Chains A and B, each alone.
Chain A
């Protein structure tokens, strides 16, 4: 018989239509060691309590839908193996965004901050006859920050963001970095101006929670510091 793990799953539950305060739901499940936290949550939802609410789409670490606090740190539930967190697994919604129900938070404030940094390619110069060329070195300059999947693990792990929800947050800065350091883009100055605002990049206190939380292993604090330096020395 295949090896199984006894898991004590503690899930922070909150139904705004019934509950005044969040409460802890406790569930005992038997799972395989290479099953993921997402599988355990599915088991609870499908076999124990169908009212458990969570968000997930691809279930394979690409879409970034199932960011949650697992044993106290932000992770994607689909990328955490149960054997690495057993036997007691605590699951809570990510912190600093309004909870809609159980593990689902309202991502709109996060997306608004994302939109605020102009996360799109800007170049009004007439396009050349063929593609806009870029050297491998120029492409490498922003390669790391192209990997972001907007899961919000970083922003909701940041003490500056917890304290002040208006802070643009690590994810939006990562997205800005991706275009600021793109040699083909022409709106770096505008983005830097946005990030130079009081709720911009200077609220970063170099805590490294974002870097440690990123499921894509983006060097977020490094990217933020590069934006700070670009502002300080007025050069890219």
Chain B
């Protein structure tokens, strides 16, 4: 029975009881894919300018729908988590002896993340509800 690749990762790897590092790694991957998909869409909608203002405006109109604006909160979550987690991993890599504080590193990152994300998410929500 040869095991390998994505199948092992998804079927078995997610059952591995790693600590904070494993779960932040997983979320980093997922938010990375999310941000990539958004960027692809964004590049596409900018590209629509080639076909003139009307076509472009039609798509931009979609972004202003309530469901798309709720999606902004998810996008913001993904971008922010990916950025802060990336900074933490970079710091841990440049100062290898910080491995001792692997857990505290994730806590500090989470506190900073929440301090920025929660007020911003509330502000976006208020605006959606207000309009």
Contacts and interface: CB of A to CB of B under 8 A. Distances in A.
B53 interface: no
B89 A206 contact: yes
Contacts of B1: 14, 16, 22, 98-99
Contacts of A207: 18, 21-22, 25
Nearest to A22: B1
Interface of B is mostly: helix
A209 B3 contact: no
B6 to A, nearest CB: 6
Interface string B87-104: 001001110110100100
Contact of A162 (B9, B21, B93, B102): B9
Interface string A77-113: 0000000000000000001111100000000000000
Q: How large is the interface on A (under 10, 10 to 19, 20 to 34, 35 or more residues)?
A: 20 to 34
Contacts of B17: 71-73
Contacts of A221: 92, 96, 99, 102
Contacts of B15: 72
B92 A225 contact: yes
B91 to A, nearest CB: 10
B13 A159 contact: yes
A205 to B, nearest CB: 6
Given A209-B21, A229-B94, A165 B5 contact: yes
Q: Which 7 A-B pairs have the closest CB atoms?
A: A225-B96, A72-B17, A208-B21, A222-B96, A207-B21, A162-B13, A162-B9
Given A71-B17, A96-B3, A159-B9, 17 more contacts: A72-B15, A95-B3, A95-B8, A95-B12, A96-B4, A159-B22, A165-B5, A206-B89, A208-B102, A209-B18, A209-B19, A211-B102, A219-B99, A222-B96, A225-B93, A225-B99, A229-B96
13 contacts: A72-B15, A95-B16, A96-B3, A159-B13, A159-B26, A206-B92, A207-B22, A209-B18, A209-B21, A209-B22, A212-B19, A212-B21, A225-B93
